A and B are shown apart, each in its own frame.
Chain A
Amino acid sequence: MGLLDKQFEDGNIVITSIDNLLNWARLSSLWQMQFGLACCAIEMMAASASHFDMMRFGVIPRATPRQSDVIIISGTVSMKMAIRIKKLYEQMAEPRYVISMGSCSNSGGPYWKYGYSVLKGVDRIIPVDVYVPGCPPRPDALLEGLMRLQEKIRKESRVKKNVEGLIQPAPKVEAV
């Protein structure tokens, strides 16, 4: 990551670019919104628990969207819930990230044909940064997704436009 490469021999000085510093800070403290939807949420809880210990990546569950950086859509998004998810996402402060966890959230999963009440992919209402496949994904897979998101954040830039990993505009949805 190179942040400490240019440390001076003596003194408490580190030089780096703003991009590097902010990206490093953001990816190292991804506060997650405490929010679960279905069986994927159980795996997400397992990822948070001691065996997998998501907190070692700086992921702390926050019980409010105002203090969260990332929302993990962990489960089936019903039409009823979609409205709430959109609302919660809009309440999060930027920069905000979305991990879509599991088949349901990625594409509707097993409900894609007959699930009249299920939204066919959460990316229809909010922009998704990382898709984690699985039904449900194991905690390892979620951690992999989280690390992918961290790598994505590392490449962000506040100066350069259109670099890989920049947040895309939200898809247009009327009156949710």
Chain B
Amino acid sequence: MNANEIHDRIKDRFPDGIVEFKIDATVDPFIVVRPELIRDIAVFLSSDPELKFDYLMSISGMDYNDGNLGVVYHISSMEKRHRITLKVKLPKTDAQVPSVESIWKTANWHERESFDLFGIVFQGHPDMRRILLPDDWEGNPLRKDYKAQEYYHGMKVPY
């Protein structure tokens, strides 16, 4: 299936779930969906016999620097040999999105990474804690407005 057909199929099932569809994106066509529906859409994408998205390639966090954070899901189907990119946008003040860990196990560590570096909370994740930085680190370093702390356990952080 190509991106258009995948988009139409999601649109049929979730008529008001799609915020934006960009077929002529620079790299891959992507679909922006409403964050509260991402889990339902993921269930549909992975279980639908025509789509069969069985493989989550990556989850990336984003900071759009306009007050919004984002999550980008790259998914593909081994069997159907097609792929698509999903995006959600979240307000920085309340960055929460349902977890897709129960559908694709890959999401476990990837969501923890986005939580660690962007502070995006994935609701329903079984183990939502930092993955790279120490547990008592302050702030989320990949946010555009991040300022590193002066000291960590007595060690100076900036040079």
Contacts and interface: CB of A to CB of B under 8 A. Distances in A.
B134 A80 contact: yes
Interface residues of B, number: 15
Contacts of B132: 117
28 contacts: A79-B134, A79-B152, A79-B153, A79-B155, A79-B157, A80-B133, A80-B134, A83-B134, A83-B153, A108-B159, A112-B159, A113-B159, A116-B141, A116-B148, A116-B158, A117-B132, A117-B133, A119-B155, A120-B156, A124-B155, A124-B156, A125-B155, A173-B153, A174-B154, A175-B153, A175-B154, A176-B153, A176-B154
B77 to A, nearest CB: 36
A66 B157 CA distance: 30
Interface string A157-176: 00000000000000001111
Contacts, number: 38
A132 B111 CA distance: 39
A30 interface: no
Interface string A71-90: 00000000110110000000
Interface in B139-159: 141, 146, 148, 152-159
A72 B88 CA distance: 46
Interface of B: 132-134, 137, 141, 146, 148, 152-159
Interface in A46-87: 79-80, 82-83
Chain B at the A interface: SS class = loop
B154 to A, nearest CB: 4
Contacts of A116: 141, 146, 148, 157-158
A113 B146 CA distance: 15
Given A79-B155, A116-B157, A173-B153, 13 more contacts: A79-B134, A79-B137, A79-B152, A83-B134, A112-B159, A116-B141, A116-B146, A117-B133, A119-B155, A124-B156, A125-B155, A173-B154, A175-B153
Contacts of B141: 116-117
Interface string A86-124: 000000000000000000000010001100110110001
Contacts of A79: 134, 137, 152-153, 155, 157
Contacts of A174: 153-154
Contacts of B133: 80, 117
A82 B155 contact: yes
Contacts of A80: 133-134
Nearest to A118: B157
B121 to A, nearest CB: 21
A175 B158 CA distance: 19
3 closest cross-chain pairs (CB), A and B: A174-B154, A116-B148, A80-B134
Contacts of A120: 156, 159
A176 B146 CA distance: 24
A120 B158 CA distance: 8
Contacts of B158: 116
A124 B152 CA distance: 12
A117 B116 CA distance: 13
